[in-house]
Chain A
Amino acid sequence: AQTVTQSQPEMSVQEAETVTLSCTYDTSENNYYLFWYKQPPSRQMILVIRQEAYKQQNATENRFSVNFQKAAKSFSLKISDSQLGDTAMYFCAFQTPGSARQLTFGSGTQLTVLP
């Protein structure tokens, strides 16, 4: 079974600064997908960024980028130029290809952006 670990329950960052959220996972699979989801106070789950394990290039979406280290089984999220609207719970999630399509989530990191 896959496990996802987020070791930082809470983090804070000053507005306009850069912050990195860590995520590690454990799997014996070679092909899989990784995601970061954001959950603002509204509770809505919003996809931030995704990474396919067979792609060596790190994914980037505007101010959000990942550092994917397959050998180390690490998938950190970097948020540049942090904004107040980035305040949210962030979940790292793992998925294997195939019929189940189950997302295995980490326990989450509560990020607070300070003005």
Chain B
Amino acid sequence: EAQVTQNPRYLITVTGKKLTVTCSQNMNHEYMSWYRQDPGLGLRQIYYSMNVEVTDKGDVPEGYKVSRKEKRNFPLILESPSPNQTSLYFCASSLSRGGPYEQYFGPGTRLTVT
């Protein structure tokens, strides 16, 4: 089954404790992206990657890091989480050329930083 998986689905942590949210896709997509969803703001892009070892900032990259060492994986790293990073996070993937290709979304990760 073609899918994007994220782990964990729910996470409660404390300010300053480093964490990683994993994202993996099995569709051989070149493009992967991270979004955060906040009430009244819709989804906003954090980082994206066009292919292995190619990443770039989206609209709200502050406080986040990413890496793309393998085509299927695109982890989101919060080095020192803060309460304003409490949000619902989505990973997405798609083909990278032409379009409009559908972006396939993972199930979301609900993060709470206290």
What residues of chain A have their CB less than 8 Å away from a CB belonging to chain B? 4, 9, 33, 35, 42-45, 47, 50, 52, 91, 95, 97, 99-103, 105-108
Contact = CB atoms under 8 A, between A and B. Distances in A.
A101 to B, nearest CB: 5
Contacts of A91: 42-43
Contacts of B43: 45, 91, 103, 105
Given A91-B42, A108-B42, A103 B88 contact: no
B31 interface: yes
Given A33-B100, A35-B100, A44 B44 contact: no
Contact of B88 (A43, A52, A102): A43
Contact of B50 (A9, A99, A103): A99
Contacts of B41: 107
A98 B103 CA distance: 14
Given A35-B100, A107-B40, A108-B42, A45 B58 contact: no
A44 B58 contact: no
A43 B36 CA distance: 13
B96 A99 contact: yes
A interface majority secondary structure: loop
Interface string B80-102: 00000000101010101001111
B interface majority secondary structure: strand
The 7 closest A-B pairs by CB, nearest first: A105-B42, A33-B100, A45-B105, A105-B43, A43-B108, A107-B42, A47-B102
A68 to B, nearest CB: 13
13 contacts: A43-B88, A43-B107, A45-B43, A45-B105, A47-B102, A50-B100, A97-B99, A97-B100, A101-B101, A102-B45, A105-B43, A106-B42, A108-B42
For B50, B99, B100, which residue has the most chain A Cβ atoms within 10 angstroms? B100
Contacts of A47: 102-103
B86 to A, nearest CB: 15
Contacts of A45: 43, 90, 92, 105, 108
B5 interface: no
